[in-house]
Structure 1
Amino acid sequence: MPSPFVATDSSQQRYYRAPCPGCGAPVEFRSAQSTHAVCAYCQSTVVRQGETLARIGKMAELFDDFSPLQLFASGRIQDQPFTLVGRLQYSYDGGRWTEWVATLDGERTGILSEDNGAFVFSLPYVLQREAPPPSELRVGATTAFNGQNYTVASNEEVRLVSAQGELPRLPELGAPFAVVELRSDTGMVLSLDYDTHPPGAYLGRAVQLEDLQLTGLRDESTKEGKARSFNCPHCGAPVSVNLAESKSVTCASCNSIIDLTQGIGGELRHAEQDEPVRPLIPIGTTGQLQGAQWQVVGFQHRMGVAPGEDEHFGWNEYLLYNKKRGFNFLVDAEDGWSLVKPTTGAPTMAENGSSARYLGKSYQQQYAYNAETTYVAGEFYWQVERGQKTFNRDFASGNALLSMERSAREVTWSSGSKIDSAAVAAAFKLDGKKEMFKRSDAMPVSAAGKLGCGTIILILVVIIILLIILSTCTSSSGGSSRGYGGSYGGYSSGGGHK
């Protein structure tokens, strides 16, 4: 009796095909490492046992993540060809994300996964020591694997919600398990998946989709033909979602924040917002910064306060999007503008927080403070909520900036540099409002150049009188002066970002 598997040779690799035990349709295995597959016709989950297939259940429907990637898209990584043959979709408290299974040469498999609005390409990694239980890997703690130091960036309980194609592993559908992500100061990402014992390990680094030379991507016209629109669950007004990565969106009519983590087809949750904040750069505006065209897709206003202090300060963050470069943040603080993006790795920070080191450069801490999101508008690739709180540290090395943002389950870093206010106004064609873009970092020089000698002398006299009055008040009351700048150039350099 002939084997049910058909071995087929192609110009690229050898793959196997067998009939689905559920419906009889052909199920293909292009990678020798694949043990499971999902039938594209009846959604049966099948396991490969030698030269036979066994049906072990039925897979849930995929949620449409509007990704440009799709099965059998191909590309190159470090001059090695690969093909996407499978997809795993997970959920956790903060939303959902997708991992794509890539076969490199028919014998090895890698994972192309989402990462804070970007992508990471990882390969299976053999640990020289068994990974500790996830309860021992606290967020922010450091540990070492195979001689490399890592910082625990996230520790989440996740569930597999759906899968497609062929897979080297298949966690139990809907069963919770821990996923711990660790990052190094050289930009490496180590993922530990605790659905098996010992846990699976994958090591990778950030990639740009444009650098992978991808072909066979989803047709753009197909994406555009599917309307991502719905009625606001609060006021009923039409709401449109423009980005594939969006996990939150605001209603333009009533300003409600709408949670998209369960998909548009699910029950939409919303949170009302009062006292809207009007962004200086309108959402939807496009501008040229650092050689790329960016569109403002999101805006949030945040407030901060230093531990032990009572003086609050505020700043604004614009979420910028470029199809090939992903997401950046344009930060508008009282001490100036800056352009930053999430890092893939995790900088090494001194125990007392006074300094940090990343990619061979040392940064000194400028500010440390508690932050809270008070208003949001537009779309975001993470689940943003009004009232979200984090602890932030800001570091600097000249004009280069580095920021840490820590929540209960995650530590994220961003890096970038200061940018001139006039350049921001010009980039978004708002030169007519450039005076509104000026911040305190430019005021001493720009203002002095316009003042006459008499005006300067008058200002000095007023300052001296005020100092005498303040000195008298201080000595009589026994109070102490503030040691920090607060919102006047203190803890307002932008904070960290998802």
Structure 2
Amino acid sequence: MQIVACPGCGAQVEFKSHAAVVAVCAFCRTTVMKDADAVRDLGKMSAVLEDFSRIQIGSAGVQGGRGFTVVGRIQLKYAAGIWNEWFLLFDDGSNGWLGDSSGLYTVTTELAASATLPDFDAITPGRCYDINGERFTAAEKRRASCIGGQGELPFKVGDGWQARVVDLRQGGAFITLDYSDGERPQLYKGVSVTLEQMACQLLRDDEQIRATAGKYRGRVEALDCPSCGSAIHYLPGVTTSLVCPSCQAQLDAAGPQAQILASGASVEQVRTALPLGASATVNKVVWRVIGAMTRRDNEGSSWTEYLLYNTTGGFFWLVDSEQGWRRSSVMATWPQWPSLEADHVELDQASYSKLFDYPATVTWAAGAFNWRVAAGDVVQVYEFQRGQAALAAELSADELTWSRSTPVALDQLRAWFGAALRGDVARKAVAPAGTRLASRFALWILGLNAIPLLFNFSGTIFWVVLAIVAIYLSEHLFGAEGS
């Protein structure tokens, strides 16, 4: 450890990691740079936006059998939102990074590249690339700016520092190609993790988070829409992309003042089955609806998606469609998908068959989201199913994500939300599409076989008609179950 005096205020600044080049003074925000036997003042570093992350400087854990301590942090903003990169010092003296984005975590360490790597502009999300002899799928391509930092960092960084990064995945394995310093990228490799898997200690608790989230903005969890003045509830630093429920203005809340990105379109107000702010108690944990949006496919079918958040549990989605309600979560471990054209994917040694491939367009949105969303946004959706479980890939020009969903009975929703679930709006649960299709096919076959029997006045026709009625009723009763 090296301790120096801050050239800005004289306070002690610690360099725990030998790899650290700069450190941000905790008292006056001066960026201190080690320069041989002296230190230099690089100017003030913007304070990070205190968000809902449970990690903080000093948090510790274990990854890959090695203990680590969080010693630094940079906060980056890109077109769709913000994320944190935490600088780690391992007990053996090596270092790495803990990526923290919307409750998903990855730990990576720098790795020497053994072969030519693709150019930044040549990479397309959803396509596969050979990296060090392994096949990875491009997940996200970002151009980002540093908006704040704290603690120790391994390179000179300040306001306006630009990052160009590409994230690639293979199952639970994770690779980042960092093109920030030139055309030849630095290669970082690691895995997707959870805070529980890393046995993290010294994390912020709920009380600390509530007390500090959005601190430099001077308000917590609410702001007035600068377009119409309506109050908007959100999560500072996590859900920085807002859509005003009253005027549909698109807002960016990643800075000290909320900025209007686009004026709201004149659209009819949507009455949803779950209002913004509704709370659900799931396994004794309280979740809150913070955002909602409607989507439509190319055949005119529409559905509503609700974003729920809990400080320790992160995010999950509830989807209300003609096929019933489903609970969906973004996947950290991806299935094996040979190409965009493949009709099967493999996950945990199980095969999922492709059902649909269609564009999904946002038609309305309101509330807070952990990425930027607006009416008119389009993604290509690929759906795969195995039994009751479904996987969905959503592909845009800059990102590919995977989610897993399972059915939720309407009675279960009522138990979670109570009176907050609007019974006059909630769709009735219906049978899965495969069940409905099968029953209709059976009706068609029985109808064909019944034609000759219509001219046979034996008792056989009675049983055929009874079977047809039974199938018809079972389909409609299935559709009305739980209503």
TM-score (norm 2): 0.80
Report the residue type matching 2:279 in the other structure. Answer: T
Instruction: Give CA deviations for 1:392-448 in whole Å, capped at 9, x if unaligned.
Output: 1111111121111111111111113233333333332359949944233269999xx
CA distance in 2, matches of 1:145, 1:445: 43
2:184 aligned with 1:196, yes or no?
no
Q: Which residue number corresponds to residue 121 of structure 2?
A: 135
Q: How far apart, in 1, do the equivalents of 2:255 and 2:52 lie?
A: 11
Matches within 5 A, 1:4-403: 15-105=1-91, 107-171=93-157, 173-184=159-170, 186-197=171-182, 198-218=184-204, 220-225=206-211, 226=215, 227-228=219-220, 229-242=222-235, 244-252=237-245, 254-273=246-265, 274-289=267-282, 293-305=286-298, 311-351=299-339, 352-403=341-392
Query: Alpha-carbon deviations, 1:336-355, whole Å to 9, x = none?
Result: 32212111244333442322
Counterpart contact for 2:45–2:158, Cα < 8 Å: no
**Unpaired runs of at least 5, structure 1:** 1-14, 306-310, 447-455, 465-498
Once the two structures are TM-superposed, the CA of residue 222 in structure 1 deviates from its matched residue by 4.9
Which residue in the other structure is 1:438 paired with? 428
Listed one character per residue, the Cα deviations across residues 235-292 of structure 1 (whole Å, up to 9, x for unaligned) are: 113333246411223435x242442353252534354252122221233333345785
Q: What secondary structure sits across from 2:112 in the alignment? A: coil
Change (3 A) 1:124 1:292: farther
In the alignment, residue 348 of structure 1 is paired with which amino acid?
A: Q
Task: Give % identity.
Answer: 30
Distance 1:92 1:365 in 2: 32
**8 Å CA contact retained: 1:255, 1:377:** no
- Kept in 1, the 8 Å contact 2:234–2:290? The answer is no
Q: Which amino acid aligns with 2:429?
A: R
- Conservation of the 8 A alpha-carbon contact between 2:106 and 2:192: yes
Question: Residue 210 of structure 2: SS of its match in structure 1?
Answer: helix
Q: Greater CA deviation, 426-435 or 44-53?
A: 426-435
Cα distance change on mapping 1:207 and 1:443 into 2, 3 Å: closer
Aligned residue in 2 for 1:413 = 402
Give the aligned partner of residue 5 of structure 1.
none
Q: Which residue of 2 aligns with 1:423?
A: 412
| Residue correspondences, number | 432
Work out whether residues 31 and 43 of structure 2, in 8 Å CA contact, stay in contact via their aligned partners in 1. Answer: yes
**Cα 1:123–1:443, aligned 2, differ >3 Å: closer, same or farther?**
closer
Asked if structure 2 preserves the Cα contact closer than 8 Å seen for 1:255 and 1:276, the reply is no
Say which SS state the counterpart of residue 425 (structure 1) adopts: helix
Q: In 1, distance between residues paired with 2:111 and 2:434? A: 54
Q: Distance in 2 between matches of 1:392 and 1:320?
A: 21
Tell me whether 47-56 or 395-404 shows the greater mean CA deviation.
Answer: 47-56
Contact 2:344 2:354 (8 Å CA) reproduced: yes
Question: How far apart are residue 383 of structure 1 and its match?
Answer: 1.2
Find the residue that maps to 2:411 and give its secondary structure.
helix
CA RMSD of aligned residues (A): 3.2
2:193 corresponds to which letter in structure 1?
V
Deviation at 1:29, TM superposition (A): 0.6
Aligned counterparts of 2:46 and 2:390: Cα–Cα separation in 1:
44
- Cα distance in structure 2, aligned partners of 1:444 and 1:28: 62
Question: Contact 1:121–1:207 at 8 Å: present in 2 too?
Answer: yes
Amino acid across the alignment from 1:192: L
Distance 1:298 1:131, change over 3 A: same
CA distance in 2: counterparts of 1:259 and 1:160, whole angstroms: 20
Superposition TM-score, scaled by structure 1 size: 0.78
Question: Structure 1 residues 193 and 204 mapped into 2: Cα distance closer, same or farther (>3 Å)?
Answer: same
